[in-house]
Structure 1
Amino acid sequence: MSTARTVLVIGGGAAGSTVTVLLRRAGLDVELIEAKDDWNATAGSGITLQGNALRVLRELGVWERVAASGYGFGSVGITAPDGTVLHVQDDLRTGGDDLPATVGMQRPQLQRILIEAVRASGATVRLGTTAEIAGQDDDGVTVRFSDGSAGRYDLVVAADGLGSATRAAIGVTARPEPTGMAIWRVAAPRPAGVTRTDLAYGGPAYIAGYCPTSETTLYAYVVEANRDRAAIPPASYAQEMRRLTQSYGGFWPEITEHITDRARVNYTWFDRMLVEGSWHRGRIVLVGDAAHCCPPTLAQGAALSMEDAWVLAQMLTGAGTWDDALFQAYHERRITRVRPVVEASVRIGQWQLDGVRDADVPGLMARTMTMLRELP
């Protein structure tokens, strides 16, 4: 009887959890480590999941729980800053006609669902643990852990996010770069009339939007030019976000009433990154934000990350040999899909920064989302 292949997954976010569950289902021996003690199960406000993300969640076997926990809808509204609805556009069902176009949900709830799937898969999980690559050869990778232990694995999957220490350790020089925009986010109660994403362009910010995340909640966000983070003390986060949102009409006054708790307001810059060339060095492979990231203008960050994990798991479990040719084929399969999304996401934001009034945003979005309807 042959020994099961061993895989170390570094990072317990969407990509790391997805690849762990799928590899365990195929009978591989998988260990997942996560640097945070709490597995980040309470952080964040909301997330917009397009159909191609829902397709992967269905493959994981958690779609029913996602559907019950989130809020599905099929259109996006464009409004004036005063709340007047200017246009309503049906969303493309990128996951196929048997899935909603979009589901909004609370990000911590999605993380909890993924955590439970990982636990149920039988993977070994170690929290509060980081890894250092001690060496590798044609047969595997030797790893030292922050608790003093060590291990050897047939493959290491680096899913440790935008600031991936593993990416830097293996000599990949790509780094995230700010795009010039930043976003304020907050979770709040959902007004009864909010049944889709609405986006207001103009006013004191570039975009003011919200997305329903359950029958009772939504998350709201405001996009502006990025500011020096050090000049915005966290104690003023709620005040700063209210200052921006109070100029918007429609449902915004009701939402703004609930922007009071500084701990629930999040401020981050938009970044972009795309690792060129291969996404591996030997038997260490990058997935998700460790390989690419883009502004959330197309709401595709988590979807692309989970697609990476799905494709990599398919290729690993379908191959008799794990070698450079396999890992390069993984990169080539993903780069043709990821690059257009990263570039389109950045371009939409740049048009706003540059004040381009005749930009074909609807056309670019439609072309990109049509491409994503195809299987990854």
Structure 2
Amino acid sequence: MADSPHRSVLVIGGGTSGNALTVLLRRAGTAVDLVEASPDWKAAAGSGITLQGNALRVLREVGVLADVEKDGYAAEGVAVLAPDGTVLHAHDEFRTGGDDLPAHIGMQRPRLQQLLIGMVGTSGADVRLGTTATAFAQDDEGVDVTFSDGTTRRYALVVGADGLGSTTRGMIGITDRPEPTGMGIWRAPAPRPAGVRRTEMIYGGRCFIAGYCPTSEDTVYTYLVEPARDRATLDPAGLADEMRALCENYGGAWPELRAAFTDPSAVNYTWFDRLLVEGPWHRGRVVLVGDAAHCCPPTFAQGAAMSLEDVQVLAELLTGLDRWDAGALDRILTDYHARRLPRVRRVVDASVQLAQWLLEGRRDADVPGLIRRTLTALKELP
């Protein structure tokens, strides 16, 4: 058996949560290896991301907030529009990260990934790309991990930050799987039309939601939400054409945005999924964070925030732990789950409820009340 791993951590997955956790643990002096299945982790998928205040609160601790503010776009509130582009209602947003942070910043997702990669690179973590974990062998003192390149290393703790399709989740015997909610979403980047300085959404028309969020001084990301389609029937070469067809009758900024949908490779189509692992998020010395443990429709734009809060809480608990023996780690990981589950459940349930109301065409639903209750609760520290 290999030597005692002391305070060493393996992070599986080099996305938002895995990178942020790596930086926070390295800052506390913990030895961290990070493995990422993709050989090119700079090529982050996705056109844009909305970072709510509680996500910004964690990114400030990670050390990238200044660059996020510089490279992203702090939107000037939210507006709901009629299909013809008429503004029906505009309002300021809840500042879920506190009054000293923007309500939300939109930014290009690949740029956020680059910022986090930069922090990982200077943290001193050992990073291996194009590598996956294929087996775990645990005992009371550590975890022997076998990797796809045939090597084996020993760690005190393994963290599965490998997303919605997490292999770590299945490898430790957690049988929960994502479930589709019945909705699909089209996303694409576009140049920012003059005058678009806030997130704007249309409820109705051909789509449930047609919206866009500024992601820089020059760009926005757009999204169209509709009933889920069989993804196997979609022609990759026709994705831009389909997105143009979906928004052709919308007014306001949409005619200008529609003209920008010309590159099918820039269009992304996915389903809305729901996942919440209700039971423990760990088995022995292997624990899940972020989308590996929970995900929800992006109706509240809280996916990244919930994942970032996970790693902040986990890093805080691990940093305060004097001894990493089996009993102490089990108590910490149980505490982590107890702190995160009620908050995550609130967001998952509210996000799914809002999506369900849209599917059902509920005109009498208390959407403002649901939003107010959910976002007000998120102002409290996790």
Q: TM-score, length-normalised on structure 2?
A: 0.97
1:42 Cα shift?
4.2
1:36 Cα shift?
0.2
Moved over 6 A (4+): none
2:52 & 2:150 partners in 1: Cα distance?
41
1:42 & 1:176 partners in 2: Cα distance?
21
2:77 & 2:166 partners in 1: Cα distance?
35
Is the aligned partner of 1:363 residue 2:369? yes
1:319 Cα shift?
1.3
Question: Is the CA contact (8 Å cut-off) linking 1:176 and 1:273 kept in structure 2?
Answer: yes
1:342 Cα shift?
0.2
2:60 & 2:206 partners in 1: Cα distance?
40
Question: Is the CA contact (8 Å cut-off) linking 2:209 and 2:226 kept in structure 1?
Answer: yes
User: What is aligned with 2:132?
Assistant: 130
Amino acid at match of 1:357: R
1:3 & 1:186 partners in 2: Cα distance?
44
1:41 Cα shift?
2.9
Match of 1:289 among 281, 288, 291: 291
Match runs of 1:14-163 below 5 Å: 14-163=16-165
Q: List gaps (5 residues or longer) in structure 1.
A: none
1:133 Cα shift?
2.5
Is the aligned partner of 1:270 residue 2:272? yes
1:141 & 1:194 partners in 2: Cα distance?
51
1:252 & 1:29 partners in 2: Cα distance?
49
User: What is aligned with 1:259?
Assistant: 261
RMSD of equivalent CA atoms:
1.1
Question: Is the CA contact (8 Å cut-off) linking 1:186 and 1:219 kept in structure 2?
Answer: yes
Match of 1:195 among 191, 194, 197: 197
3-state secondary structure, aligned to 2:90: strand
1:195 & 1:276 partners in 2: Cα distance?
39
1:355 & 1:40 partners in 2: Cα distance?
40
Question: Is the CA contact (8 Å cut-off) linking 1:9 and 1:30 kept in structure 2?
Answer: yes
Question: Is the CA contact (8 Å cut-off) linking 2:5 and 2:142 kept in structure 1?
Answer: no
2:163 & 2:42 partners in 1: Cα distance?
13
1:277 Cα shift?
1.2
Per-residue Cα deviation, 1:16-43 (whole angstroms, up to 9, x for no partner) = 0111000000001000000001115342
1:317 & 1:74 partners in 2: Cα distance?
37
Question: Is the CA contact (8 Å cut-off) linking 1:74 and 1:100 kept in structure 2?
Answer: no
3-state secondary structure, aligned to 1:188: strand
Per-residue Cα deviation, 1:283-317 (whole angstroms, up to 9, x for no partner) = 00000000000000000001100110000000001
Summarize the Cα distance change of 1:251–1:139 in structure 2 as closer, same or farther, 3 Å threshold.
same
User: What is aligned with 1:352?
Assistant: 358
Question: Is the CA contact (8 Å cut-off) linking 1:4 and 1:29 kept in structure 2?
Answer: no
1:99 Cα shift?
0.7
1:353 & 1:331 partners in 2: Cα distance?
31
User: What is aligned with 1:279?
Assistant: 281
1:132 Cα shift?
1.8
User: What is aligned with 1:165?
Assistant: 167
1:73 Cα shift?
1.9
* Bigger shift: residues 261-270 or 127-136: 127-136
2:116 & 2:161 partners in 1: Cα distance?
14
User: What is aligned with 2:339?
Assistant: 333
1:362 Cα shift?
1.1
Per-residue Cα deviation, 1:148-175 (whole angstroms, up to 9, x for no partner) = 1110000000000000001001000100
1:44 Cα shift?
1.2
Q: List gaps (5 residues or longer) in structure 2.
A: none
1:26 & 1:190 partners in 2: Cα distance?
40
Per-residue Cα deviation, 1:339-375 (whole angstroms, up to 9, x for no partner) = 0000000000000111111111111011111111111
User: What is aligned with 2:247?
Assistant: 245
Match runs of 1:4-23 below 5 Å: 5-23=7-25
What is the percent sequence identity of the aligned residues?
A: 65
1:3 Cα shift?
7.9
1:155 & 1:117 partners in 2: Cα distance?
21
1:325 & 1:6 partners in 2: Cα distance?
18
1:75 Cα shift?
1.1
3-state secondary structure, aligned to 1:141: strand
Amino acid at match of 1:22: L
Aligned residues: 375
3-state secondary structure, aligned to 2:200: strand
Question: Is the CA contact (8 Å cut-off) linking 1:81 and 1:200 kept in structure 2?
Answer: yes
1:375 & 1:42 partners in 2: Cα distance?
29
